[in-house]
């Protein structure tokens, strides 16, 4: 459940149709917006705009509500550790399905934390007893949503570094043993007028050949793993509030009067948020009795 400015606040593009407006209220026909994965799955080869779907209302006693699809948003990546994302999303206007717990998303220029006094004042004007809690920037939201993939990447890097050290020690030991085994041969070569530089060139030449072959094999293997490893390090700029299991979100362009605008269900929204590198965003969670 969202308010109309939600897509603008998080920069979610609209593929076709229209976004929610202030005219979508509890007294107007129920409407919904779906994402591209939903449209492709249930309306292959045709335009879903105008189609009707049955969506259970978020309430203490959920009831099925027939809603008309008025828009389709672009498919966005919701998990950084998956190569592709085909999550199905349905958005409904907050005015047509209120919810008691909200997350307010505020888009700001400059340091977003400087807006906190005006935000708290705006909330206090609505309800002096209301507490604003869990204030985070989108940098923190993005970092938290990618914590597990980054940990895995750091773990893999540590093991790779350890493997490189072990490989280097192993190669050094093998060549040291080989040189010692050939000490007699080198003595005979030098007795037959070979110079120390010639012997050194022979040893290093063999070592370079072996290392070059090993590096070639390693580079080819690494290139083959680049795509799978990239899924563990996906940029947080592709993260967006996800499926219907995501908690309510809110958005408001104004700095002083954030509008409550919950979205679908209870799990933590931190893992379902989009980080816009070009702007500084602020995310606030607080319970509001609607």
Q: Looking at the structure, do residues 229 and 282 belong to the same domain, yes or no? A: no
Give me the residue label for tokens 């977003």. Answer: 112
pLDDT of 28 > 60? The answer is yes
The pTM score is 0.56
Q: Looking at the structure, do residues 131 and 268 belong to the same domain, yes or no? A: yes
- Whether residue 277 is contained in a domain is answered as yes
Q: Pick the closest to residue 104 from 6, 209, 232 (CA basis).
A: 6
Confidence of residue 231 (pLDDT cuts 50, 70, 90): low
Q: Looking at the structure, do residues 113 and 228 belong to the same domain, yes or no? A: no
Confidence of residue 275 (pLDDT cuts 50, 70, 90): very low
pLDDT at site 233:
53
Q: Looking at the structure, do residues 100 and 188 belong to the same domain, yes or no? A: no
Q: Looking at the structure, do residues 23 and 128 belong to the same domain, yes or no? A: yes
Q: Looking at the structure, do residues 133 and 26 belong to the same domain, yes or no? A: yes
Q: Looking at the structure, do residues 151 and 251 belong to the same domain, yes or no? A: no
Q: Looking at the structure, do residues 219 and 157 belong to the same domain, yes or no? A: yes
Q: Looking at the structure, do residues 53 and 130 belong to the same domain, yes or no? A: yes
Q: Looking at the structure, do residues 127 and 20 belong to the same domain, yes or no? A: yes
Q: Looking at the structure, do residues 53 and 102 belong to the same domain, yes or no? A: yes
- Whether residue 221 is contained in a domain is answered as yes
pLDDT at site 81:
58
**What value does the CA radius of gyration of the chain take, rounded to a whole number of Å?**
30
Confidence of residue 105 (pLDDT cuts 50, 70, 90): confident
pLDDT at site 232:
54
- Whether residue 11 is contained in a domain is answered as yes
Whole-angstrom Cα distance, residue 129 to residue 237?
35
Q: Looking at the structure, do residues 153 and 213 belong to the same domain, yes or no? A: yes
- Whether residue 20 is contained in a domain is answered as yes
pLDDT digits (tens, 9 = 90+) for 155-183: 988 998 998 899 889 888 888 888 888 88
Q: Pick the closest to residue 239 from 71, 12, 7, 73 (CA basis).
A: 12
- Whether residue 1 is contained in a domain is answered as no
- Supply the range of the domain harboring residue 37: 6-138+237-287
How much is the mean pLDDT over the chain?
Answer: 76
Query: What contacts 108, CB < 8 A, 6 or more positions away?
Result: 115, 255, 279, 280, 281, 282
Query: What contacts 173, CB < 8 A, 6 or more positions away?
Result: none
pLDDT at site 228:
66
| Average pLDDT of the segment spanning 25-37 | 94
């Amino acid at each position: 459940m969202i308010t109309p400015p939600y897509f603008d606040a998080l920069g979610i593009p609209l593929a076709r149709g229209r976004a929610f407006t202030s005219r979508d209220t509890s007294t107007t026909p129920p409407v919904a917006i779906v994402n591209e994965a939903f449209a492709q799955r249930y309306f292959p080869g045709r335009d879903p705009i105008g189609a009707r779907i049955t969506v259970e209302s978020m309430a203490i006693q959920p009831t099925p509500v027939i809603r008309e699809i008025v828009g389709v948003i672009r498919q966005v990546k919701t998990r950084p550790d998956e190569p592709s994302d085909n999550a199905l999303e349905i958005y409904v206007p907050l005015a047509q399905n209120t919810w008691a717990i909200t997350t307010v998303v505020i888009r700001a220029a400059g340091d977003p934390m400087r807006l906190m006094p005006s935000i708290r004042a705006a909330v206090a004007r609505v309800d002096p007893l209301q507490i604003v809690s869990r204030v985070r920037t989108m940098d923190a939201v993005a970092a938290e949503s990618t914590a597990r993939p980054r940990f895995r990447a750091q773990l893999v890097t540590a093991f790779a570094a350890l493997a490189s050290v072990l490989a280097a020690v192993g190669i050094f030991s093998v060549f040291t043993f080989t040189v010692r085994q050939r000490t007699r041969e080198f003595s005979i070569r030098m007795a037959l007028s070979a110079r120390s530089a010639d012997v050194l060139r022979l040893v290093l030449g063999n070592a370079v050949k072996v290392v070059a072959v090993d590096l070639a094999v390693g580079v080819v293997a690494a290139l083959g793993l680049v795509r799978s490893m990239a899924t563990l390090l996906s940029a947080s700029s592709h993260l967006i509030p996800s499926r219907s299991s995501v908690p309510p979100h809110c958005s408001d362009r104004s700095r002083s009067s954030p509008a409550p605008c919950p979205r679908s269900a209870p799990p933590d929204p931190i893992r379902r948020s989009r980080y816009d590198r070009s702007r500084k965003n602020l995310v606030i969670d607080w319970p509001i009795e609607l």
